[in-house]
């Protein structure tokens, strides 16, 4: 089914809870296996430069244990490139990273950082890793992704998730236009950031979007209903929106 919308479950914040006490639990690898059993199509983990949640050991254990694809979120640095080349995840999503931010605050400036990104993307692609660029829904960024030879972009839905009313409608239009432009140019479109049961529908309904990456909400919801149930319900919301 070409129209199928994949769900990537981001398990970073299972590690946030673990690291709050420096204990060995809850284990993000166990979370990944529960998410997979509940219908996740992939697992996403962001190895930040400051290792505030996911650690190098988590990436090694996920790489060894996962039966579904791993999408490694990473900053465009030599250190992260080395780690990606060592573990060879199915995909690497390049994100901007600022040490002081609470979460990824916006898309990558693929247009402005073209010269730095080009060799890094080439190395990842040569290693057989599917490169995705996390970008704002802007034509200039999509144009840069095309010129950089990125096979995938992930559209930043954080702004959409934070606003209401007419502003949200306008942002949704920007996201749909960007998805259409990317797909027309042969780029696979993913989306993510800030998605919940309440706001996922319109994003899931954009026909060119092939994968959603969702984390913080699912890990929070897991406290109340369990991770498996949270993933199953998200899957249902996505399928319903897809029609």
Task: Give the nearer residue to ligand PXP in terms of CB position, either 172 or 214.
Answer: 214
Report the alpha-carbon angle 130-131-136, nearest 5.
140
Task: Give the nearer residue to ligand PXP in terms of CB position, either 81 or 203.
Answer: 203
Could you give the maximum distance between any two Cα atoms of the chain, in Å?
48
Q: Which long-range contacts (CB under 8 A, 24 or more apart) does 169-177 make?
A: 171/137, 172/202, 172/203, 174/137, 174/138, 175/137, 175/203, 175/206, 176/206, 176/208, 177/137
Contact pattern for ligand PXP over residues 163 through 192, marking x by CB under 6 A: -----------------------------x
Among the listed residues 193, 211, 221, 237, the single catalytic one is 193
Token pair 């890990």 is found at 219
**Residue 188 is among the residues annotated as catalytic for this protein:** no
Q: How far is the CB of 103 from ligand PXP (least distance, A)?
A: 6
Task: Give the nearer residue to ligand PXP in terms of CB position, either 103 or 185.
Answer: 103
Tokens at 94, concatenated: 């390049």
Q: Does 28 bind ligand PXP (CB under 6 A)?
A: no
**Residue 162 is among the residues annotated as catalytic for this protein:** no
Contact between 92 and 85 under an 8 Å Cβ cutoff? The reply is no
Q: Which residues are catalytic?
A: 46, 73, 193
Residues of the shown chain interacting with ligand PXP in the complex, contacts defined by CB under 6 A: 10, 12, 46, 73, 93, 95, 103-104, 134, 154, 192-195, 213-217
């Amino acid at each position: 089914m070409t129209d199928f919308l994949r769900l990537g479950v981001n398990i970073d914040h299972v590690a946030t809870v673990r690291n709050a006490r420096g204990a060995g639990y809850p284990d993000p690898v166990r979370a990944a296996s529960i998410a997979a059993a509940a219908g996740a199509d992939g697992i996403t983990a962001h190895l930040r430069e400051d290792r505030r949640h996911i650690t190098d050991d988590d990436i090694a254990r996920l790489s060894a244990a996962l039966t579904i694809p791993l999408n490694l979120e990473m900053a465009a640095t030599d250190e992260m490139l080395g780690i990606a080349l060592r573990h060879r995840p199915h995909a690497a999503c390049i994100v901007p990273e600022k040490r002081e931010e609470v979460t990824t605050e916006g898309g990558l400036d693929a247009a402005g950082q073209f010269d730095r990104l080009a060799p890094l993307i080439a190395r990842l692609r040569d290693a057989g890793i599917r490169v995705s660029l996390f970008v704002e829904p802007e034509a200039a960024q999509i144009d840069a992704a095309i010129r950089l030879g990125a096979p995938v972009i992930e559209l930043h839905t954080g702004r959409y998730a934070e606003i209401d009313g007419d502003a949200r409608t306008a942002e949704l239009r920007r996201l749909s236009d960007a998805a259409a432009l990317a797909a027309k140019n042969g780029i696979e479109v993913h989306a993510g950031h800030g998605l919940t049961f309440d706001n996922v529908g319109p994003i899931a309904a954009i026909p060119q979007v092939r994968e959603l990456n969702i984390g913080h909400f699912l890990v929070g919801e897991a406290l109340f209903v369990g991770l498996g149930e949270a993933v199953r319900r998200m899957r249902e919301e996505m399928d319903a929106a897809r029609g």
